[in-house]
Amino acid sequence: TSLVQLHHLQMRPLHEPELRRTFQVYMRSNTSPSPAAAKFMEFLFAYVASHGWNAPQEPAA
- Digits of tens for pLDDT over the chain (61 positions)? 688 889 999 888 877 877 777 778 888 889 999 999 999 999 988 888 888 777 556 666 5
CA dist 18 and 14 (Å) reads 7
Distance CA 6, CA 16 (A): 28
Nearest alpha-carbon partner for 42 in 23, 56, 22: 56
Inside any domain, residue 26: yes
Domain of residue 53, residue span: 22-61
The answer to whether residue 8 sits within a structural domain is no
Asked whether residue 44 is domain-assigned, the answer is yes
Give every CB contact of residue 46 below 8 A, 6+ residues apart in sequence: none
At position 52, the amino acid (one-letter code) is: G
Predicted local distance difference test score (pLDDT) of residue 33: 92
Which pLDDT does position 37 carry in this prediction?
92
User: 57 lies in a domain?
Assistant: yes
CA dihedral (15, 21, 22, 26) positive or negative? negative
